[in-house]
Amino acid sequence: MLSMPFNSSTPVLYYNKEQFEKAGVSAPKTWQEMQTVSQKLLDSGVECGFTTSWQSWIQLENFSARHNIPFATQANGFAGMDTEFVFNRPAQVAHIEKMREWQQNGIFSYGGRRSDSAPKFYSQECSMFMGSSAGYAGMKRNASFDFGVAQLPYNAEQIETPQNTIIGGASLWVLQGKSEEQYQGVATFLNFLSRADMQADWHQFSGYLPITQAAYELTKGQGFYAANPGTDVAVKQMTSVEPTENSKGLRLGNFVQVRDIINEELEAVWAGDKTAQVALDAAAKRGNALLRKFEKAND
């Protein structure tokens, strides 16, 4: 089964340039710098250092990819359906445990499972926000301050050169059972959407990734990146290194429901009800049960 990528995105770090200037800091590149920068921001009067949207996608799925460690066995599901979750291993556990600590001292502030935390950034309560590159249009519309875009941080103690982040969003599918004439129309429409000028326009006003190299080159040639610093961050983050089996993406059954489980367990961590290890062990166990149901249903 194949589809055409369309509204494709990857997570990035947005930051409040005005608050950064006041605190005398620059965009952090590592998680170690995230703590230092956030503390200086707090000392300057900001209420919280950073918040995040889509916590499973960004803080576990992309964290794993960024550090070239598996989120699940069998090449994150690409090598077979008999896969199991392994996001409860030491690197991920240490990261979530550190975020639990930051939640308690104000460096991190949880704001919701999806994009519910964005108002914390718009209101300038939090100086940094981890969210989809496709949120760029919303940032332009809602932020009353100058903001910047940077790559997601990485743990310098775990990897020297971080891997690419993984893609999110959606794609367009063509279903069977239609006439030849209708399929000709569909092909014409998909060719239209794939044109470099169409993709460049979509990319520039929305923040979604261009799905072709031609659209990226056209956007660059038009001077868009030079006029809008940071808008090429997501592209560079996705393409700067060769993907590995840990960073090319995920293919896992019942994953919408699995994300709900991960969200539930992470919320117990932020609330102080569970340690990171206990919560991620529980999420992996509950998620594996859903994987086995999917595997059985698709034998």
Higher pLDDT, 299 or 8: 8
Task: Report the percentage of the chain scoring pLDDT > 90.
Answer: 96
Query: pLDDT class for 144, splitting at 50, 70, 90?
Result: very high
Are 13 and 130 spatial neighbours (Cβ–Cβ below 8 Å)? yes
pLDDT for the residue numbered 1? 63
Residue 1 CB-density burial (10 A; 0-12 exposed, 13-18 middle, 19+ buried): exposed
Give per-residue burial for 156-182: e unless 16+ CB within 10 Å, then b. eebeeebbbbbbbbeeeeeeeeeeeee
Task: Report the percentage of the chain scoring pLDDT > 70.
Answer: 100
Cα 74 to Cα 214: distance, rounded to the nearest angstrom: 33
pLDDT for the residue numbered 3? 86
CATH number of this structure's domain 9-168+235-297: 3.40.190.10
The count of residues in the chain is 299
HSE-CB at 89 with a 13 A cutoff on CA atoms is 15
The CA dihedral of 153, 158, 164, 167, to the nearest 10 degrees, is -80
pLDDT for the residue numbered 107? 98
pLDDT for the residue numbered 197? 97
Are 43 and 49 spatial neighbours (Cβ–Cβ below 8 Å)? no
Domain boundaries, the chain: 9-168+235-297
For residue 240, pLDDT beyond 80: yes
For residue 39, pLDDT beyond 70: yes
For residue 34, pLDDT beyond 90: yes
Mean pLDDT of 92-121: 97
C-alpha of 240 from chain center: 16
* Neighbouring residues of 77: CB distance < 8 A, sequence distance ≥ 6: 83, 250, 251, 252, 253
Mean pLDDT of 125-140: 95
For residue 299, pLDDT beyond 90: no
Cα 118 to Cα 3: distance, rounded to the nearest angstrom: 30
Joined tokens for residue 271 = 């609330």
Quickly count helices (H) and strands (E) in the chain: 15, 6
Mean pLDDT for the chain?
96
In tens, the pLDDT along 242-295 reads 999 999 999 999 999 999 999 999 999 999 999 999 999 999 999 999 999 999
- Residue identified by tokens 């875009």 is 149
